[in-house]
A and B are shown apart, each in its own frame.
Chain A
Amino acid sequence: MQQRVEFHARADRALHNPQIRSNFRYAMDGLIDKRKRSFPDLDELNRLRLRCAEIRVNALSKLPELLEQLEACCTKNGIQVHWAETVGEANRIVLDIMNRHNAKLLIKGKSMVSEEMELNHYLEQQGIECLESDLGEYILQLAGEPPSHIVAPAIHKSRQQVAQLFKEKFPDIPYSDDVDRLTRNARHILRRKFYEAPVGLSGVNFAVAETGTICLVENEGNGRMCTTIPPVHIAVTGIEKVVEKLSDIPPLLSILPRSATGQHITTYFNMITSPRKPGEKDGPDEVHLVLLDNGRSRIYEDQELIATLRCIRCGACMNHCPVYTRIGGHAYGTTIPGPIGSILEPQKAGLDRYGDLPTASTLCGACGEVCPVRIPIPALLNRLRFERVRQDHTGVTRGQGSQRDPWEARIWKGWSWMHANPAIYRLGIGLAAGLRWMLPKRLGAWTRVRSAPRLAAKSLHKLAREKGLDHE
């Protein structure tokens, strides 16, 4: 129950922080609007969603085979493939590569898997400096904070807050809250580092099994720099990012940026298929691909929950989530926040750790409606609500049953008994109506911001009986 207190405490802090509230509201309104305008033809959107869901379902249906094919093709192309079952193993693989090259500086493109690994923290303990080169991630590194959104990691900060942060960290640079100037300053600081760093790290948006190609979507060009300038490139990814064919990429690339930021295409799209070949003018001498499991193969085991792994990390579900918009990403306490985080993270780390997250939703359905690969997020939230209180322990989810509170369970048993027995129910509502004057005016948290509901003098059951509507 430790997690519950933490989630509620963090959510309350965010709810009472007007700056957080307005930063998220403003940013989410903008992202919702941009996405909407980038899909003017709803029929096209629905066809594309069906196609992309099909691509992801197909890939997951033969995940083990495709991963083996990916490994074989990458190896043939000269990319070194590493398997990691845990984040600890993945971190050690990266460290070994760094050590082999005597590298003390790692320059990073944006990677949520490296956040999942807490790679920066791990490497810094080993005396290796990590530098985030994505502007949002760089801002957060300066501030010492984790991302609050998977696509726009520093979205919880206003332009003025970023300007203030730069002023504190770089007193020599004149203060400015102009976005272009701030970007130029960061670019200036980072550019030198690209030439100094012996190793660059990136995430992976899609990995193509049939060609052994790593695909990387980005807007700032830092991804291309990280993957081409340093002599060594390490790509880290979850095992679920694989797709079968190269022809699967165009539909996914058509839906991902539009769902994420409303862009028809990102500024950069990188396809990496090998290290630098003889005669080529640029590119790294070594390319490594680290494939991380960290609980994903357990999710793969369940034919309903496997849909969680379709995710292409566009962030549309959080942009459209009324809960995320109110509390922001940090309140979730997970690498990935929002609706997709609330189904993914409890499955990875266990319901004993994140058992509260599946309940932090009104099941309004906005997330499922916008998901580009049609993950039925509300249905999976409901499923995990079952997993968190189930008693038979026959599921695949870690921590199943751990959130079962004996009192709550007894209340539901009683509730069920009453509503499955019509005579008891009618007696109950009759009594409640008769004694309605006794009902308290205050009903816990409900009446903190609401007046108490008033029971009717006569139930619909009674009105219908009086009107003779109860029989044919």
Chain B
Amino acid sequence: MSLRTGFPEQPARVYFFGTCLIDLLYPEAGLAGIQLIRREGVEVIFPQNQTCCGQPAWNSGYRDEARAVASAQMACFPRDYPIVVPSGSCAGMLRHHYPELFQGTPQHKASLAFSDRIFELTEFLVQVLKISLSDVGKPVKVALHVSCSARREMGVAGDHQALLRQLKNVELVEPRRREECCGFGGTFAVKHPEISAAMVEEKATELVATGADTLVSGDCGCLMNITGHLGYRKETLQGSHIASFLWERTNAAES
């Protein structure tokens, strides 16, 4: 698994892979990601036949089932445009695990070409679009939680930070043990709920201890897990996907 070293010039158009969690639970985050890209003068296409990257089945050992879903996704993005994904976890699946999933199949070569076109959203905004943000929001303290896949598989923790640091009224803080997993882990939370609960309890405590007003993350799996627990504890700390947060802070019409 290797991290990307070079980046292309700004393209005329891109595909957007929304992810199933955003589709069902956080569609506004997907829309915000699309709007951030369009504002930079790039056309965004959202193919209607996309569903899920297949990661849940892949991480559960059901490889044939994952491959069927992955095949269907590859067919949705026929042209060679970059594919932008507002999730480190799904981007990691598409970019690093598709070639493993199709190893030894006739689609292996296609999966390599496909995975090469995958960009995580913050990576795309910073490295390809070289976006410049101007903050129109009120002063706020923000705690950043970078997902394990964004940090380790995609190597985009720095891009998350760079975007938030562009916002002049945002005080960025990170919790103690920031590199530790929040305990979601997809089906892990279902198979080992007690361990997952112990992990999210500690993560939430550290996030609350930062004194932040808002929790920002680039992954909806972590957000669903952490904000679910914060809500259960009736904490005031609210969660936001980084795309929604950036769009709200920089879109004068909405603030």
Contacts and interface: CB of A to CB of B under 8 A. Distances in A.
Interface of A: 8, 11-12, 15, 21, 29, 322-323, 326-327, 359-366, 368-369, 376, 379, 382, 384-390, 409, 412-413, 415-422, 425-426, 429, 432-433, 444-456, 458-465, 467, 469-472
Contact of A382 (B1, B30, B58): B58
B193 to A, nearest CB: 3
Contacts of A21: 198
A365 B152 contact: yes
B13 interface: yes
A415 B199 contact: no
Interface string B188-201: 11111111111111
The interface centre, meaning the residue of B26, B44, B198 with most chain A CB atoms within 10 A of its CB, is B198
Given A382-B59, A451-B232, A460-B46, A365 B153 contact: yes
B253 interface: no
A415 B16 CA distance: 23
Contacts of A416: 57, 62, 64-66, 68-69
A365 B194 contact: no
A304 to B, nearest CB: 10
A415 B54 CA distance: 10
Contacts, number: 203
A8 B193 CA distance: 10
A37 to B, nearest CB: 15
B229 A450 contact: yes
Contact of B69 (A12, A376, A419): A419
Contacts of B228: 446-447, 450-453
19 contacts: A8-B194, A12-B194, A322-B180, A326-B199, A359-B191, A359-B192, A361-B188, A362-B185, A364-B148, A364-B152, A369-B152, A409-B62, A413-B65, A422-B72, A444-B193, A450-B228, A461-B23, A465-B48, A467-B31
B54 to A, nearest CB: 7
Given A386-B63, A419-B51, 20 more contacts: A327-B195, A362-B148, A364-B181, A387-B61, A415-B65, A416-B62, A416-B66, A419-B20, A419-B54, A419-B69, A446-B189, A447-B232, A448-B193, A449-B200, A449-B232, A453-B25, A461-B23, A464-B48, A465-B48, A467-B31
B49 A422 contact: yes
Interface in B22-77: 22-28, 30-31, 34, 43-52, 54, 56-66, 68-69, 71-72, 76
A452 B227 CA distance: 10
Nearest to B151: A365
Contacts of B76: 422
Say whether chain A's binding surface is mostly helix, strand, loop, or mixed.
Answer: helix
Contacts of A432: 24
B225 interface: yes
Contacts of A467: 31, 34
Contacts of B99: none
B218 interface: no
Contact of B181 (A12, A360, A366, A421): A366
Contacts of B13: 472
A223 B157 CA distance: 44
Interface of B: 1, 13, 16, 18, 20, 22-28, 30-31, 34, 43-52, 54, 56-66, 68-69, 71-72, 76, 100, 148-149, 152-153, 177, 179-181, 183-201, 224-225, 228-229, 231-232
Contacts of A390: 61
B45 A471 contact: yes
A366 B69 contact: no
A444 B228 CA distance: 14
A384 B198 CA distance: 25
Nearest to B28: A456
Contacts of B31: 460, 463-464, 467
A71 B91 CA distance: 49
Contacts of B26: 456
B175 to A, nearest CB: 14
A299 to B, nearest CB: 18
Nearest to A368: B152
Contact of A451 (B43, B50, B68, B231): B231
A368 B153 CA distance: 11
Contacts of B49: 422
A409 B65 CA distance: 10
Contacts of B57: 412, 415-416
A417 B63 CA distance: 13
B200 A450 contact: yes
7 nearest CB pairs, A to B: A362-B185, A450-B228, A445-B193, A385-B61, A416-B65, A364-B181, A451-B231
Contacts of B149: 365
A450 B45 contact: no
A459 B197 contact: no
